Amino acid sequence: MNEDTKSKVLKIKKLQNDFYAFLSTAIKNRNKKIQEILKREDDKRIKDILNNLK
């Protein structure tokens, strides 16, 4: 494999791996946001229940 080919293959592999890293980050951020929404809703529900108990 000549140097030019090798360099192109490495560049493609890097682009591919960078995309996987991007996907991982995007999923982590998405899940974090969903968890925050769910926690906020849970907190509100608990607050409502406690208010009703008063």
Partner 1 sequence: MEENKKNEHIVPKESLGDSGMEDLETSVENVAGNASIEINQEAARVLEDSDKLESEFNNPEIRAVLNETAAEIDKELKLVDSQIGEEGTNVDVNNQEALDNRNKNIEGMIESYRKDKERNSRFIEENTRALENLKDFLSVLVKQSNHYSESGGYTWQLVEPTQKLEALKSARSQLYSQLNADGNSFQQIQDNDQYKEYTKQLHEIPVGYEEIGEISGVNLDSAEVTIKNLNGAKDLGGVFTLEDALKKSMVLYEDANKKIDTRIDELEKGDF
Report the alpha-carbon distance of residue 43 to residue 31 in Å, rounded: 18
Of 8, 44, 45, 47, which lies in the binding site for partner 1, with binding defined by CB under 8 A?
8
Residue 39 sits in the site that holds partner 1 (CB under 8 A): no
CB count in 10 Å sphere of residue 35:
10
- 47 is a site residue for partner 1 (CB under 8 A): no
Nearer to partner 1, 11 or 47 (CB): 11
- In the complex, the smallest distance separating the C-beta of residue 52 from partner 1, rounded to whole angstroms, is 23
Q: How far apart are CA 12 and CA 18, in angstroms?
A: 10
Is residue 22 at the binding interface for partner 1, with CB under 8 A as the rule? yes
- Report the amino acid identity of residue 6: K
